[in-house]
Amino acid sequence: MTIQELMEKRAKAWDTARDFLDSKRNANGLLSEEDSKTYDAMEQQIVDLGKEIERMQRAERISQELSAATTTPLVTTPGTRAAETEKTGIASDDYSKAFWNSVRNRNYVDVRNSLHVGEDTEGGYLVPDEFERKLIEALEEENVFRPLATRIQTSSGDRKIPVVTSKGEAVWMEEEEAYTLSDDAFGQLSLSAYKVGTAIKISEELLNDSVFDLPAYIAKEFARRIGAKEEEAFVVGDGVGKPTGIFAATGGAQEGAISNGATITFDDMIELFYSVKSPYRKKSVWLLNEQTIKALRKIKDNTGNYIWQPSVSVGIPDTILNRPYVTSVYAPTIEAGQKAIAFGDFSYYWIADRQGRSLKRLNELFAMNGQIGFLASQRVDGKLILPEAVKVLTMKA
């Protein structure tokens, strides 16, 4: 079954579930216990179909990557060499080869001079340029928030960002009246470099096995662990020793609406939707957890249409009030006093990556177990630089 066929099947399943909801609701708009179980089963089928569509889309992307050409086509006369820009520093081939040989502990004395170009002040070695690029790509796959935000790289610990705190305005004037000065006021936001790290253990046998793809393994494992901690911080981080999250009480998004009760209604969603100014709404995305999505699937607008709509075409995402959404396990749940949903243009959330990720080898710590340890770390910060660009819905206390 193709992806398009699965999408059409899911759309039909949603139509069936929607009709079931409409026909089984009582005068209070509620379902009986038996009907609720039936609907939950129907909704689970929709969720399972959505996950299968995502799996097939990932498989398709992997297939395209594997079918790509593995060699560069000849575009010059045989026997001649095309002019190439020589890579230097941590981007050089010598540095990359020396780095991974030192990780595998091969010819360590011979490669010290090559590695010196990438040595950091804490005694670790900056990862080669090509590996760092792969690492960033892997982190984006593991972290749903990174693709939404604006990413910058910093070479120092802090990055100062100028922000307009208040704007000047025009005034009505009489003929020949003097102009009134009205200047913009500027402030600064600072992005720091908080350290996040993890330890990895690899057996000596794997390190000595030339077939084992060590760079790929470390990149994947680093991405899985660091990506999860990053996403948690970008969503709910309090800014103490970590980035400031969108849902943070201080430094996070502005409050756009407060629910009228313990559950979310259509009026609450409309209030949140229009609390975001029109220029930001054009690129706005919903951020919430999957349990909140489940609750929103049962909400109708004033014309009787459900505000959640499944995608029926490849490349077009599912929507809430015609805007796409992303889910994060770290987004708060629907509870009294909690910020349950964020909506806005997340490109105004800036992520600052400190250039250079560090990888250290531990030879002795796990030697009795026949293992070698690795410490992988990076420095990163994140902050919403324009609070009005993203608003949150707070549940009534």
> Which residue positions in the chain have pLDDT lower than 50?
106-123
**193 occurs within a structural domain:** yes
What integer pLDDT is reported at residue 315 of this predicted model? 78
Domain count of the chain? 1
Q: Among the residues of the chain, which ranges form H helices? A: 3-24, 33-66, 93-103, 108-115, 129-142, 204-208, 214-236, 266-275, 278-281, 290-296
What integer pLDDT is reported at residue 27 of this predicted model? 73
With tokens 């990557």, the residue in question is 65
What integer pLDDT is reported at residue 110 of this predicted model? 43
**391 occurs within a structural domain:** yes
**80 occurs within a structural domain:** no
With tokens 């600052």, the residue in question is 352
What integer pLDDT is reported at residue 112 of this predicted model? 43
**60 occurs within a structural domain:** no
What integer pLDDT is reported at residue 340 of this predicted model? 93
**151 occurs within a structural domain:** yes
**41 occurs within a structural domain:** no
Q: Which domain holds residue 149?
A: 122-167+181-289+328-397
**Residue 219 belongs to a domain with what CATH number?**
3.30.2400.10
What integer pLDDT is reported at residue 189 of this predicted model? 72
**369 occurs within a structural domain:** yes
What integer pLDDT is reported at residue 105 of this predicted model? 61
If one counts every other C-beta atom within 10 angstroms of the C-beta of residue 328, the result is 21
Token duo for residue 83: 């002019």
What integer pLDDT is reported at residue 133 of this predicted model? 65
**258 occurs within a structural domain:** yes
